[in-house]
Each structure stands twice: as C-alpha cells, then as structure tokens.
Amino acid sequence: MLQRTLIGLIRSHETTGEKAKDPLLKTRYYKMSKDQAWDEVINMFKKLNGYKLLHEVRNVGEIVLEKRTITGRTQDITVTLFGINPLKTAIDIYSASRGSLGDLGSNYRTILDIFKHIDKKLAAYKTND
C-alpha cells in the first residue's frame, strides 16, 4: 500500500488491463453475455452509494461514473465491458482524479472497490482466465 501512496504522489490516474503488473488490476472475466453483464452492472451502479452514473453507451460497452473522494476531489471513472464471445465478457476500469496533484492511491482504491462490488454481483459468473 505504501508503494501505491508514493506512486500516487505524482500520478493522478489508475487503470486495469491484461498486462497489469499488480494482479488486483488485471482485467476481470465473466462467463455471461455482454448484454447480461451490462444489465447487472448498470443496475448495481444505480444502487451503489458514492458513485454517480453520468453516461452509458451500451453498444460501445462504456459506463461513465463520477465519485467524490474524502478530500473533496472528483474522480472520473470509465468502466468498459467487452464481449469476448457470446458467453464471455471482460471488464476494465479507468479512474482519474481531476486536478494537478497526485491522488495518493485513491484511484487504485476506487478501482478495487468497484471490482469488489462487481465480483460480488457477478460471483456466479466469475472466471480466472
């Protein structure tokens, strides 16, 4: 966690992906169609405290959210769903803080929080490949 805070002194964004060095930031996969995953994730965000759903583009698989941090800064978050095949969906998240200073790791924590909620909601469909 200390390393994340040190990186966060200068960096004000965080992202997940296939090649992420941190295993917690790796792309998540679910055994379900993109449409099914989309409905579940959108419904989850509509009920999730602390996140404001700004924009959703179903055909592109993009969900844009906003979150206020404890320090009052605003984070812009993009959750992207990719249909790998008719029965498999991947989810990646990008989170960035507005302003010029680093985020002290808050974008990292936000991504882990979102993944925790998605993993819980889609637990029956989670796959490790």
Taking 90 as the threshold, does the pLDDT of residue 9 lie above it?
no
How many domains are contained in the chain?
A: 1
Taking 80 as the threshold, does the pLDDT of residue 2 lie above it?
no
The domain that holds 80 is classified in CATH as 3.30.310.220
Average pLDDT over residues 54-62: 96
Contact 106, 50 (CB under 8 A): no
pLDDT at res. 102: 74
Residues spanned by the domain of 9 = 2-127
The mean pLDDT of the chain is 91
DSSP the chain: -HHHHHHHHH--EEE-BTT-SSGGGBPEEESS-HHHHHHHHHHHHHH-TTEEEEEEETTTTEEEEEEE-TTS-EEEEEEEEEEEETTEEEEEEEEEESSSS--TTHHHHHHHHHHHHHHHHTGGGEE--
Tens digits of residue pLDDT in 86-109: 999 999 999 999 987 777 789 999
Please report, rounded to a whole number, the percentage of residues in the chain having pLDDT higher than 70: 91
